[in-house]
Structure 1
Amino acid sequence: MKVVEIRGYLLGFAPSPAIGNATRMIRRRDFLLLELVTDTGARGWGEVFASPAAAAALVRTRLAPIILGASPHHHGRLYDRMLGTLGYDRRGPGMMAISAVDMALHDLAAQDRGISVAEALGGALRTRLPAYASAPFITTDAAEPYGHYQTEIDGILRRNFRALKPRAGVSPRADGIMAMAVRRQVGPDISVMVDINQGYTARAAIESARHMEEADLLWIEEPVQPEDVPGYSMVSAAVPTAIAGGEALGSLAAFRDFLAAGAMSVLQPDLTVCGGFTGFLRIAALAAAYDLPVMPHVFGTVVNMRAALQAAALVTPRRGAPGEYPWIECDASANPLLDLAGALPVSADGTIAVPDAPGTGLDLQSERLAPWISETWRLAA
């Protein structure tokens, strides 16, 4: 089996209504999907969500000569060769481009063996994962940025979610009022986390955490800028709630620095940023030395969602509150790119099944992407 063609799809959509967080309103969501095609006709998929256009250029100019004609089964060797092309760009679009290729190579290699990626990487440790709804989102266009949360949370609970992650970061006092209102609404048995999306300085994050403390949060995510190790350390030392982050970190060295500083309690590498399956598993191994939970950040299309399920199934369980980590993140906003190959339902117990079909279990026909495509390209061996 050899890769004979690389197909790139730049695509996106305008969320309706627009969704917001502590730093911005998101009025457009853009992605790069990579489709690697082999001489057997198999197709593997990878994704970039953070810098899709830049990553696409790097795939075409730097990575394609390495991948075309190569066997997907050599994904470890190919990963090291791709890393060698980065130069100074070890935490940006270069790593994102490698991430998409690595995801697709693992998908193809497992398909060729007729087994899932999790099976190919040693075997899944679980067949189901507890899911949390990544929502609701702030509406800065409204007089009350949190005013719609109650209605949206009612809908989230009707979808069987037993955990949810609303966005926070309007102001420390407003955050506290919101978090307590959410806790009263959902009761004591639903897990609640909040995501500040890098919106505060360390001192403001500490003040916000103190206002939210009685809401019994599972974690507070990205309270400060993504590579602010001293800021994360200050927040972690000052508040009892677990501090989570890592979705914007693209290198193993970046995670090493946070772990050495004791700056995070929950790590959330994103497969589309940190190096695909290879990068994720290296980070998980590093975290295991500190006995810290690792779970994938997921906020993109069905491609990353399916890959993240396979990756999360490989992670050694860590005790959480309640139950065990890892959780799987589910974008609960209106995202048509999550249902391109059929929705993954949340069961009555709040879990999602890990697909055991070959590869990532994704049977995606590129024709389904047509309504959202802005540009396509192809490179052949």
Structure 2
Amino acid sequence: MKIASIQGFHAGFSPTPALGNASTFIRRRDFLLVRVVTESGVVGWGEVFASPFAAAALIKTKLAPLLLGQPVRDYGRLYHAMLGTLGYDRRGPAMMAASAIDMALHDAAARCQGISVAAMLGGALRDRALAYASGPFIAEGGSPYGAYPEQVDALLRRGFRAIKPRAGFDPRADGVMTKALRRQVGEDVALMVDINQGYGVGSAIESARRMEEAGLLWIEEPLQPEDIPGYQTVARSVPCAIAGGEALASLAAFRDFLAARTFSVLQPDLTVCGGFTGFRRVAALADAYDLPVMPHVFGTLVNFHAALQMAALLPARRGGGPAPYPFIEYDATPNPLLTVLGTPELDSAGMVALPEGPGIGLELDPERLAPWLTESWTLGRE
């Protein structure tokens, strides 16, 4: 089935309160949802979360002429055609634009066959994955971690067995916070922290050492994403696993980090690293270094559903916590673009099931996006 049109839906909202991390307070969350429509009416969805407006311009001007009229089943050939347009922009919005299209092509191609993306790509290795709560977040004011105990209790009541609060306010406070949370949740709940690129090397090492008693599964993105020597120093200086990769886009970027032995847990994001095609290339590279891989997800229901399909394809690896890796990241904040079709439910073991429908398992009518829509456009035939 050939591509008749490509549609873009710009949607966003302002979280209240703002979501704080070590680098910023997020006051606005904007996304681009991309919908590929075939001549027979079969559709596929993709997402851009990091640079939605720039990616939209690139889809309109550079990618659409390559794609319109092409068969959706040729997603591999089309991926390489899209990469051929990137020029110098191999780690920015152009790669994110290609990522969204690749996601949508896979979704549509699997729907054309009446099967899931996981089935189309060789068969799911599991039908559910442990969900870890992405949160709580740092608060504005004089008590950045003050609400964490109450918020973590709420996450436990929702059924989460793994929780990743934001850290990075300062090393001493990080140590106090994580040790208190460990006492609160007990030994059977996994704890990790995300520093969101907020520290330099020295403060990252000090923070990791102060948090050591908490028994964290990993410390995520303690440094800026391009600082390979810094990550090497941190990884060699602390016993806790260092995680990262969400900000990396090109295969070469992942190669450089893995060759430098910087990460113990790799977290590519489908919306950044090239969709399903790019993610699978990264996962194959990680296999050569015997590293666990799991999808980073902090966006809408589109990337969440796609990430579940990808998680189903990844081999299991022991890393600690209530279940083998891969885990699936679950945005635990009020996010209407994640819950527009209902809140993803956890089972009694804190796991979320792989959707049963074709493609990524998502039946989304664009009209459901209306309350959060700021702009939409169509390329090709309506």
Q: How does 1:217-232 map to 2 (within 5 A)?
A: 217-232=216-231
| Counterpart in the other structure of 2:242 | 243
| Counterpart in the other structure of 2:117 | 117
Q: Which amino acid aligns with 2:179?
A: M
| Counterpart in the other structure of 1:161 | 160
Whole-angstrom CA distance in 2 between matches of 1:214 and 1:334: 31
Q: How does 1:243-322 map to 2 (within 5 A)?
A: 243-322=242-321
Deviation, 1:269, is 0.3
Deviation per CA, 1:90-146, whole angstroms, max 9, x where unpaired? 00000000000000000000000000000000000001101100000001x221000
Q: TM-score scaled to structure 2, two decimals?
A: 0.99
Tell me whether 1:325 sits opposite 2:325 in the alignment: yes
| Counterpart in the other structure of 1:7 | 7
| Counterpart in the other structure of 2:349 | 349
Whole-angstrom CA distance in 1 between matches of 2:313 and 2:278: 13
Whole-angstrom CA distance in 2 between matches of 1:318 and 1:255: 20
Tell me whether 1:33 sits opposite 2:33 in the alignment: yes
Deviation per CA, 1:50-72, whole angstroms, max 9, x where unpaired? 00000000000000011110111
Whole-angstrom CA distance in 2 between matches of 1:136 and 1:171: 16
Q: Which amino acid aligns with 2:150?
A: T
| SS of residue paired to 1:313 | helix
Deviation, 1:341, is 2.2
| Counterpart in the other structure of 1:101 | 101
Gap regions ≥5 residues in structure 1: none
Q: Which amino acid aligns with 1:120?
A: M
Gap regions ≥5 residues in structure 2: none
Deviation, 1:193, is 0.2
Tell me whether 1:179 sits opposite 2:188 in the alignment: no
| SS of residue paired to 2:307 | helix
| Counterpart in the other structure of 1:84 | 84
| SS of residue paired to 1:209 | helix
| Counterpart in the other structure of 2:370 | 370
| Counterpart in the other structure of 1:234 | 233
Deviation per CA, 1:147-166, whole angstroms, max 9, x where unpaired? 00011001000010000000
Deviation per CA, 1:336-375, whole angstroms, max 9, x where unpaired? 0001222220111111101131000000000011111111
Deviation per CA, 1:243-299, whole angstroms, max 9, x where unpaired? 000000001111101110100000000000000000000000000011100000000
Deviation per CA, 1:180-211, whole angstroms, max 9, x where unpaired? 01101101110000000000001110000000
| SS of residue paired to 1:132 | strand
Whole-angstrom CA distance in 1 between matches of 2:230 and 2:104: 35
Q: CA RMSD in A?
A: 0.7
Deviation, 1:320, is 1.2
The aligned length equals 380
| Runs of 4+, deviation exceeding 4 Å | none
| SS of residue paired to 1:364 | coil
Q: TM-score scaled to structure 1, two decimals?
A: 0.99
Whole-angstrom CA distance in 2 between matches of 1:147 and 1:158: 19
Whole-angstrom CA distance in 2 between matches of 1:297 and 1:336: 19
Q: Which amino acid aligns with 1:24?
A: T
Q: Which amino acid aligns with 2:168?
A: G
Decide whether the 8 Å contact of 1:341 with 1:362 is kept in 2.
Answer: no
| Counterpart in the other structure of 2:129 | 129
